[in-house]
Structure formats: structure tokens, C-alpha cells
Structure 1
Amino acid sequence: MRLPKRRARWAWPRETDVPSELPPTAGLPLRVTDLLPGRAPFAERVAEWLQVEQLQLECSGTAAMVVALAAMKRLRPQRDEVIVPAWTCPLVALAIHRAGLKPRLCDLAPNHFDMDSSQLCLLAGDRTLAIVPTHLAGRVADVNATLDVAHRVGAYVLEDAAQALGAQHDGRSVGLLGDAGFFSLAVGKGLTLFEGGLLLTRDPVLRDAFAVSHDSTIRPDARMDWQRALELAGYTLAYRPSLLPLAYGRPLRKALAANDPVAAVGDDFGPDIPLHTVSEWRQAVGARALTRLPAFLDATRVQALRRVERLRQIPGITVFDDAPRQRGVWPFLLLTMPSEKARDEALRTLWTAGLGVSRLFIHALPDYAYLRDIVADTPLPNARSFAARSLTITNSLWLNDATFESICSVLERTVGQLS
């Protein structure tokens, strides 16, 4: 099956009721017909769409990272450190630890999600196995800056494109500038198998090593197959504004009422990382949904670019967009407020209002209690500032213009009152 070169206009599923809860991210809605029995070469079809030679399917983006790092470690056994941004998904640190390696944290550039290049140069050395630039929120990271450092010290570059399936740099998929990259297929990241991951490399030596690593690490698990199948079916039914109050809104408000923002955004991960195969049925579900993904990404891009321009009119707010030669994807809009006080004041109104306003990662990595034995607590002023001032706005097509404008009004009023 080839995806159509001429893309149909995206038609968002209609809700008969007034939307009561918007998702924090714009995931591709699944259809009941996607759940029909069948088989399909899912990874091959995604590779054809991305115009890459091959993709290796794993059960999550985290599992893909574990498989990749374990393979790199076998190829360069004298190296044991992996440099990552200090503000990123906590699962990144857990994946590095699961692969038997040590995370080293690089502070962010001022008011940006990219790593600070000067500190990166100081951290990288002869023990560095890999450096992990992160395409956060669908935005394309500066991989070239990381490549310069990695080449100097003989390290791999592993692009974390978990939130960026479909993003491009210079007309090519992200994940191709570095030595390898991986995508996530979790809920809310565009295309989903409920959980899934795709591993990408142009290097035939790494490709063979990834296959060997998969065979030595990943095992079939019937219990997980059933669990993920039920979760995927539940997502198909519940991912709509009329049912999201139960599936998303109620747990969110309960966690915030308990003063637990980590649980509210789903950052409360345990040490266990599931490592198992992906059933043929879930692959078939993904292959059916994939035919609608290009039009979905086009529609969300058009909406996002218009709304980025509106947010830029608010003094003191930074909203992240594509740089020249980049074409990211838009699951949500990532922005920073001028101060932590302003961010918290805006969230006091917006976070529980059902409008899809949220936070991405609550802390810099050392500030998660469950990571204290894994990551070192070092001075990270820019990462901690970014964590304290950032918020996200869903790019769901269910968020209409009038409701988006009401969010902007809250942000404007908050900034104005605290300036």
C-alpha cells in the first residue's frame, strides 16, 4: 500500500455534544474500523511514508532507546555515559539506566529547550557513548551543533524524536542527521498503537547491531499483548471530548487536588520498562490509521502556525516555532511565560478548565524524587527556569478559535497584571 501523494482534506470527527474536555495533545483519533482483524507490515509502511530505508518496530519509544543504547554499548564497550538535556522526559533517564549506562545532564540554552552548546562541549569526553538531542513538542532541535561535539569526542548522536514523527529538516525526516533516532507511538503523539516505538538509522553497522540488540532484549509477552489491545480499544472509544472527562479530566483534577503535579501530567514512572514484541493486530490498526496521518498533520500545522502568530502578540511570552529549513509537527504549542509566578497564575485558571492547557515535564531531571539515585544533582539554572515558566496549549482541532482566544485573554491579563 502506498500513501496517496495527493492528500485529502482532513475531516475531524464531529461530536454531537458540546465539547466538555479537550486533550492536552492532538493525537490522531482512531476509528472503530481501524480495530478490525488483520495483518500489515506497519514499520515498512511508515518507512515508505517517511522515505527512509528501514524502521525497526519496538513496543515503546523508551524500549527503542534501550535497544539502541545497548547496541551502541556493545560496539564501544569502553564508553558508559550518555548526555541528555536536563529538562526532558524522565523515561529518558530510566532508559539509560536500564541499558546499564550513566546519564549526564546538560543544562539548556537560556529560554530554550535545546542543550547549551558551551556546556555540552565541557561534558563530552572519551567516556561519552552518545549525545541525545531532543526534538521536543514536535520542534526540530539543532542536531548539527550536537554533531560537531560528538564527532570531536567519537560519540554517537541518537536523536530523540519521540514527539516528532513526521517532522523534517531540509526536506528529510528527523532522525537522519545523527547516527540514529527513535519515534514514539504513545497516545497523544500523532499516530499511536497506544504504545510503540520506531528505531531509525542510515548506518548498516548500527542497523545490524540494533537487530541483534532487539533479539537479545525483547521477548513475546501474551499478557502485555492483551493489555495493550484493551488499552488501544479503550483509547479508540474514549478519545473524544464527551468521554475525556472520565479518561483524562477526572484523574487530572484528583492529582492536582492532592498537590501532585507529577501525577497530573503522567510523569510518575516506575523503574520497570516493558520490553516485549508488538502484536500483528496492533500493527494492522496502526497501518490503517497511517493513511489518514499526512492530512491530519497538514491540518494541525495550518492551525498551529496561525495560533503561534496570535501568541506572539502577547508581550513577555516566548512560543516555539520552526527555524528556517525546518518543518516540525504540532501536537501542542510549547511556550514560556516571563516568570514562574505568571505561569502559575495562568495555570490556576486554565489547567483544570478542560481547555487542553497543561505542562509538559514538571521538573528538571534531578528534581524527580524517583530519579535521585540515577541522575546527579548539579546546578542547572536554565533547565529549572524553563521547567518553572513553561506551559503547553493543545493543538487539537477540537479547540475552536473562540476558545483559543479565551486562553490568550487569560495569558494577556496575567502578564499585564504581573508586569
Structure 2
Amino acid sequence: MPDRPNPFRELPPTAGLPLGWKDLLGAAVTRTPPDFARDAARFLGVDDLLLTCSGTAALVVILTTLRRFSARRQVVVPAYTCPLVAIAVAHCGLDPVLCDLAPGSLDLDPAALRRLCGADTLAVVPTHLAGRVADVATAAAIARAAGAWVIEDAAQAFGARTAAGIVGTDGDFGLFSLAVGKGLTLFEGGLLHVREPALRAEMRRTAQTLLPAAPWREALRALQLAGYAAAYRPGLLPFAYGAGVRRSLRRGDPVAAAGDAFSRDIPLHRVGAWRQRVGRSAIRRLGTFLDAAAERAHRRVERLRAVTGLHVFGDGPGGRGVWPFLLVRMPDRAARDRALAVLWPAGLGVSRLFVHALPGYGFLRGLVPQEAVPNAASLADTTLTIGNSPWMSEQDFAAICGRLERAL
């Protein structure tokens, strides 16, 4: 397979909801007071959501509020997760504690979590990685036995469900991301669910203080959202996305190629009226979009599971996750790297979730403990992601499967 089957076409690594000009122009002329959080709550079927400028900002609002109620300082996070989680914990003056994953799983290792939780544990952050439905109940039971709060990280799982209800509502708090590639996007945005009404009021007070109006920053986000609407299509993504990925890969910088390089500075501001109106317009199509993505994913998962030596992460009993991409694990790093060497620069939507377990990122040195987390490190070393966009043809998918089979 050539490195670039079609240099004038690029598939995205995640299935984001495309925005149309009707979304943008309708938002510009509408004078209805914006309340995107209300529409998002209605979509999920919950009473109330708080809108923030990012999923990271939602976590900062939670932790800043909890610090007012407790002298505890430790927050237990997965050792394999977005680096912004650890950055947010440190931003709030708290200590991130890394919990390894269970072998062969995306869930926190229960035995490791029991050892880590104690009298100084403020919160535990079980995480729904890759849109898959995590085992929150086990992590929550261990956390609550230690007197800790449960913050459910559903940044990659807006719209997912469990057998009992809605992902993001099983913990004391749940956060969602509206960043690019997370299904529905405001280019950057976040939503926060709070189980207890009294705490909900506290979170709103915190958000009022932490998230000021920032007209210039909001103007930039509005321009970026308009750019996303224009460029998120196969004919323009080679320039808006793919060229940067291939440049980073040629430099030998997979962290930059995967979009994992983050500053410790966390933008904190309010989401403006225009972006909220764009979100209100787009969310009307989200249910249909997620259903179609699930149908594509289930069909392709069956094909991938027929490849000997390949593991595709799915949901446990009763779980109905969302499918921005498929997370695939190969038997060893060498096989994964053979596949990535050809597939990552090929414009077929193949990428990586997070390049390292948290201790492996140089920019997190001094912020997270440098300790062994073998299961998390193994997951980082053996996985790749396959985009699930509606633009991926059967020919594209067959090419990906063929390269994976040859790598194995």
C-alpha cells in the first residue's frame, strides 16, 4: 500500500459531527437567548448541566469547589489518560496519584486502587476511554469506602449509556468534552453534571468566579469553530490536519502527531452566545449521527475480530458506548509499530489515542510520580486507533485491515 493512497483526500482520526453553514449562519441571525446546556441536558435526559469552556475546565471547577470542603490533597487518576487530567489536578494545587489499569483492560485495577485510596484521597477519576463504557461501580465503591468523591470522566463518551442509565451520571460528578473530534463540538467546550443539587449550586458559584468573560479569547474560539466547519471534510483535511501530522512524524515526534503536547496553562473563560447557538443547532442531528456511527463500528469490529492476534475494545454487558474511533490492541509493540509506520501517515484516519502512560511524557516531569505502571505502559505501546468517520469507504477499511494482517 502506498504511503499516501490519495494525497488530495484525508480521513479524520475521529468521527466528529460535521457542521454546516446553516448552523453558523442561523446562530448569527438568531436572537434567542442562548442556553446550550439546557439542550444538552435534554439530549442526555438529565435535569441540569453546567457549560464550561472545556472538559479540563469542568474538572478544575469540580476540584476547586471540593477543596473548600476538604483538606485532602490526593486525586487518583488512571495512569493511561489524557495528560490534561494530571495538569488540571496540579493546577488546583492537588497531587495526582496514578492508578495502573487492570491487565488487558481500560478500567482502573481494583487491587491497585484499594492500595492507593486512603485518608488523604479527595477524589477518584474513573474514565470512559475511547467512548467505551467503564466499570464505574467498582471504582466508586472503593472510593466511597475511603470517603472520597467520584469524578466520572466521560470526556470521550458524550451520549453513551449503561444498563442502568447515562454515562457521566453514576459518579458524584461527571464531565464531558466538546472539543474537536468528540462527536458534537464547539471547537472547545465542556459540560459538567452534578448529582446533588446543593453541590450543583456550589459548582455554579465556582464557575462564575473561575470562568470570566473573555471577548478576545472567545472571538478566537469562534473563528476556530468556523474554520472547523469549513475544513472538516476529506478534501481540506490534508492541509488542515494531515500535513501537520506527517511533518511531526518525519521529525520523530509522535506526541505532537497525536496531539498529546499540552501546555500547563489552562484557558478559563465563558462560552459565548454565538458558539452556544451553533451547538443548539447541531445537537438536533447528534442522535442520528451517533446511531449511524455505532452501526458502522459494530460492522467493522466484527471484521477486525476475525484477524488473529488483534483485540478490539468493546463494551461490557449492558453498555452502549459511542464510537468516535475503534481502539485496537496488537500482541506486541513491534507489530503495532510495523502497522503504524505505513498507516499513520497514509491519510486513512489511523492514529494513536495517547502515546504514553502519564509518567512517559517529558512535559509532566515533576508533576506526576515517575513510577512503574506496567499495564498502562503496555496499553500505550500496543494500541492504535482507527477512525470511524462516515467518509471511510469499505475500500479504505479493507486497506487498513490488510496492513494490520501483514503487520501481524
TM-score by length of 2: 0.96
Q: What is the aligned counterpart of 1:52 among 37, 43, 46?
A: 46
More moved, 361-370 vs 18-27: 18-27
User: Unmatched 5+ residue regions in structure 1?
Assistant: 1-16
Distance 2:353 2:140 in 1: 26
Q: Distance in 1 between matches of 2:198 and 2:310?
A: 45
Q: Secondary structure at the match of 2:396?
A: helix
Write out per-residue CA displacement over residues 334-377 of structure 1, whole angstroms, 9 at most, x where no aligned residue: 01110000000000110000000000101111111110111010
Identify the range of structure 1 (243-252 vs 197-206) with the bigger mean alpha-carbon deviation.
197-206
Decide whether the 8 Å contact of 1:53 with 1:202 is kept in 2.
no
Q: CA deviation at 1:205?
A: 2.4
Matches within 5 A, 1:316-395: 316-395=309-388
**Aligned with residue 270 of structure 1, among 263, 271, 283:** 263
Q: Does 1:91 align with 2:74?
A: no
Q: 1:26 is matched with which residue?
A: 15
State how far apart, in whole Å, the 1-side matches of 2:348 and 2:168 are: 32
- Helix, strand or coil: the match of 1:223? helix
Residue in structure 2 matching 1:173, options 166, 169, 174: 166
Q: Please tell me whether residue 314 in structure 1 is matched to residue 307 in structure 2.
A: yes
Report matched runs for 1:10-25 at 5 Å.
Answer: 20-25=9-14
Q: Which residue of 2 aligns with 1:101?
A: 94
CA distance in 2, matches of 1:100, 1:168: 33
Give the match for residue 163 of structure 1: 156
* Letter of the 1:45 counterpart: D
- Work out the CA distance in 1 between the residues paired with 2:162 and 2:64: 27
Which SS does the other structure have where 1:315 is aligned?
coil
Identity %, equivalent residues: 55
Contact 1:175-1:201 within 8 A present in 2 as well: no
CA distance in 1, matches of 2:11, 2:396: 11
Which residue identity lines up with residue 155 of structure 2 in the other structure?
A
Pick the aligned partner of 1:69 from 63, 66, 84: 63
Deviation of 1:34 (Å): 0.6
Quick one: which amino acid aligns to residue 15 of structure 2? A
Moved over 6 A (4+): none
Cα distance between partner residues in 1 of 2:134 and 2:80 = 14
Taking the aligned partners of 1:275 and 1:163, their CA distance within structure 2 comes to 20
C-alpha distance in structure 1 between counterparts of 2:112 and 2:220, whole Å: 43
1:211 is matched with 204
Per-residue displacement from partner, 1:113-137 (whole Å, max 9, x unpaired)?
A: 2111100000000111110000011
**1:33 counterpart letter in structure 2:** K
AA partner of residue 291 (structure 1): R
Query: Is contact 1:161–1:181 with CA below 8 Å preserved after alignment?
Result: yes
Stretch moving more, 377-386 or 210-219: 210-219
Aligned to 2:294: 301
Of 198, 222, 225, the residue aligned with 2:218 is: 225
Do 1:97 and 1:374's aligned partners in 2 also have CA atoms closer than 8 Å?
yes
Instruction: Report the number of matched residues.
Output: 398
- Distance in 2, matches of 1:308 and 1:72, equals 40
1:21/1:356 contact within 8 Å kept: yes
Distance in 1, matches of 2:112 and 2:387, equals 32
Q: Which amino acid aligns with 2:40?
A: V
SS class of match (2:98): strand
SS of 2:192 mapped into structure 1: strand
Whether contact under 8 Å (2:7, 2:238) holds in the other structure is: no
Task: Tell me which amino acid in the other structure corresponds to 2:222.
Answer: A
- 1:35 aligns to 2:24 (yes or no): yes
3-state DSSP of counterpart to 1:140: coil
Contact 1:72 1:206 in 2 (8 A): no
SS at match of 1:192: coil
Q: CA deviation at 1:216?
A: 2.1
CA contact (8 A) 1:163 1:184 kept: yes
Residue 257, structure 1, aligned to residue 258, structure 2? no
Q: Would you say 1:195 and 2:195 are equivalent positions?
A: no
